[in-house]
Amino acid sequence: MTRAGPSQSHRSQRDPQSSQYHSQKTRRGRRAQPRDDEEEEEEPGAGDENIGVDVDDGQANGDSELDRKASDLARLALFMEQKRVPLRREDINKKVLGSNTRQFKAVLEKAQKLLRKTFGMELVELQSRNHRDEDGNEEAHNATGVKKRAAAAGSRTYILRSVLDPVIIEQAAITDERLFEEQMNDAGPDEEVEEELPRHYGSIISWSTCDQLASLGILYVVLALILVNGKTMSDVDLKANLKRLRLPSNAVVPVNTQAAHKAMPIDAFLNHLMRQGYLDCIRPGDNKVAGGKRGRAPAATQASAEENQAYEWRWGNRAHGEVGEQAVTNFMAEFMVERSREVVTDDDEEQEAGTSRQGRGRDRGNAAEKKLESIQKAIERAAGGNLSGIN
């Protein structure tokens, strides 16, 4: 006898249970799905910290790249300054920035901070010669306005200039006895080459090794001659004045002991000053420097007097940016006043006795100040007025 299986009614009772189970499972699955979605949505938020770290790393890499380029720019500026050659914007783009030329301002700003803090120097853009010619006329200066002047001022060439206070430089140039003794002891007993060695002055700033005194003095004399001649001077007149100072065309100018050539003729020295940017040699009415980009001054043996008369000497953009017309004026005036003080004879000093010596000394000091101002005004009139400082 066959065993009776579950009846249809029992089956029908179980089926609703199973269907309810599946439906509940389905609902639970549907409820769980949004939770999973929420968890998936929360995962990107949880990774924001990693993204932030990546952004910080990228910013740090960018800052380090700017620091590296700023260091390269400072190193390049120091190298060019050692040769006294202006640094061109094209050289900065090629050797420092590469293809990222838009970073120039950011790199220059960081390099300036490095140069000021470490070396006490800063990069200064030189003025263009055309802008200086326009700026020499006061009426044209007032007519052009500030915006036009600023647009035409830059020459895209740079030099390093000290940011130290003049008082600090003056104190650093004073001879210190202890430092002088140490320098002499380090030098030891003299050898046969004593004349070739730089002299010791016992000062922090050693003019014997940093700047060549003879060539620097001749440079200032040339700048002074050009300034008192109306800021322009023909080649013949300049050579004639140098000859009166015992510097003919075949005279030899001593250079720094560290230079490759210990001396050079006066004509070669003037060309050297042109390459460094201290002087310009031009033809009247010509906007270009004589000889083109790397001009050469006309030598006495290469041209006649009439041809040399056609060339004029002027201050270069480096002289305006490093020395300044006002500084050369003060240099000449102080030199002339100091020479006049040395004219006082011993008899005059003997007469200044007793209580009247202090009063006479004060009167003589006031007279020297008045004479200094008088000479400065005379130099300004000879230059045509409007003496400029460092720009």
Q: Reduced to 3 states, what is the DSSP secondary structure of residue 390?
A: coil
What CATH number belongs to 206-322? 1.10.10
Q: Do 92 and 104 form a contact (C-beta atoms < 8 A)?
A: yes
Give the number of other Cβ atoms within 10 Å of residue 108's Cβ.
19
Q: Reduced to 3 states, what is the DSSP secondary structure of residue 315?
A: strand
Q: What is the pLDDT of residue 196?
A: 52
Q: Do 329 and 380 form a contact (C-beta atoms < 8 A)?
A: yes
Task: Give, in order, the Cα–Cα distances in Å from 281 to each of 96, 226, 260, 292, 296.
Answer: 32, 12, 25, 10, 8
What H or E segment, with its residue span, contains residue 385?
none
Q: What is the pLDDT of residue 370?
A: 86
Tokens at residue 46, please?
């949880």
d(CA 316, CA 95): 26
**Class of 56-167 in CATH:** mainly alpha
Cα end-to-end distance, the chain, whole Å: 125
Rounded to two decimals, the pTM is 0.68
d(CA 95, CA 88): 11
Q: What is the pLDDT of residue 49?
A: 47
What is the DSSP secondary structure assignment for residue 153, as one 8-state letter?
A: H
What H or E segment, with its residue span, contains residue 311?
none
Q: Do 190 and 206 form a contact (C-beta atoms < 8 A)?
A: no
In three-state form (DSSP H/G/I as H, E/B as E, the rest C), the secondary structure along 267-292 is: HHHHHHHHHHCCEEEECCCCCCECCH
Q: What is the mean pLDDT of each run of 10 residues along the chain (391 residues)?
A: 47 48 50 49 48 52 84 94 89 90 92 94 85 55 48 77 88 82 70 53 69 82 94 93 91 74 86 91 66 51 58 91 91 84 54 54 72 89 85 67
Query: Whose structure tokens read 């010619």?
Result: 133
Q: Do 255 and 212 form a contact (C-beta atoms < 8 A)?
A: yes
Q: Cα 12–14–18 angle (5° rounding)?
A: 120
Give the number of other Cβ atoms within 10 Å of residue 330's Cβ.
16
Q: What is the pLDDT of residue 176?
A: 81
Strands 154-162 and 279-282: unpaired
Q: Reduced to 3 states, what is the DSSP secondary structure of residue 161?
A: strand
* Long-range own/partner contacts, residues 70-78 (CB < 8 A, 24 or more apart): 70/107, 70/110, 70/111, 70/113, 70/114, 71/111, 71/114, 72/96, 73/107, 73/108, 73/111, 74/111, 74/114, 74/115, 74/118, 74/119, 77/111, 77/115, 77/123, 77/158, 77/160, 78/119, 78/160
Q: Say if 56-167 and 206-322 have the same CATH topology.
A: yes
Sign of torsion, CA 104 109 110 116?
A: positive
Nearest to 213 by CA among 204, 201, 202, 231: 201
d(CA 280, CA 295): 9
d(CA 99, CA 238): 46
What ranges do the domains of the chain cover?
56-167, 206-322, 325-383
What is the DSSP secondary structure assignment for residue 95, as one 8-state letter?
A: I
Q: What is the pLDDT of residue 109?
A: 94
Nearest to 272 by CA among 244, 295, 289, 291: 295
Query: Whose structure tokens read 């250079």?
Result: 255
